[in-house]
Copies of this chain bind each other. A is one copy, B any other.
């Protein structure tokens, strides 16, 4: 099993700790820096996590920080966390092309950066934002690993009919238009939302669901492209 780190740089809206159900543990110091939080200690520390949520006294605390302070903390998250030997470091950014994104890139320059996975919904208001993120990647020489379409169609649990609540196909179209790989779509699924709310492992709980198949497909496509 790969050793994976997740770095949550959404400083104003850190949501990964809740989704991984790690609570609010205290972050400790060791000789080589802050010790990350392990999402599942039984799994022999294979999933390390760092988020500003662990550093706040109170989970309602607002991070009223301007860019330079955000940039400094992100630098520490990359350099001063005792990540150990990782096979993969996944960085979750907020939307946009601003301080957080520049800070991550600057601090990871000395490491090998595989590239960016861009997530959109099918709507034009969302693909428009991601088009600007594609421009950002090109300007900063960041390889685009592929595009994922989220909130992609809803299959009614009562009648099994599909509704395209947020339009349809925007992610795939964007990938074609910009010559990027299309990694796949994640449907709107109340069971997925519920699992993320409660920090339950969706993939373990619903291995038979079509959403499981969709997410596995994305993960495999991405991993294959990295190993190619």
Q: Is the CB of B154 within 8 A of A165?
A: yes
A64 at the interface (CB under 8 A from B): yes
Q: Is the CB of A132 within 8 A of B12?
A: yes
Cα distance A98–B167 in the bound complex, in angstroms: 31
5 of the cross-chain contacts (CB-CB < 8 Å) are A13-B132, A123-B197, A125-B197, A154-B163, A167-B193
Given contacts A12-B97, A64-B102, 17 further A-B contacts (CB under 8 A): A12-B98, A13-B132, A19-B125, A62-B136, A62-B139, A63-B97, A64-B101, A66-B98, A70-B98, A94-B95, A123-B197, A154-B163, A163-B190, A164-B190, A165-B188, A165-B193, A167-B193
Question: Which A residues lie at the B interface, using CB under 8 A?
Answer: 11-13, 15, 18-19, 59-68, 70-71, 94-99, 101-102, 123-125, 128-129, 131-136, 139-140, 154, 156-159, 161, 163-167, 188-190, 193-194, 196-197
B residues within 8 A CB of A132? Answer: 12-13, 60-63
Protomer copies: 2
Q: Is the CB of B161 within 8 A of A156?
A: yes
Q: Which residue of B lies closest to A56 (CB)?
A: B132
Q: Is the CB of B15 within 8 A of A64?
A: no
Q: Is the CB of B66 within 8 A of A67?
A: yes
B residues within 8 A CB of A158? Answer: 156, 159, 161, 163
Return A107 CB to nearest CB of chain B, in Å: 15
B residues within 8 A CB of A71? Answer: 66
Cβ-closest 4 pairs across A and B: A67-B67, A12-B96, A159-B159, A158-B161
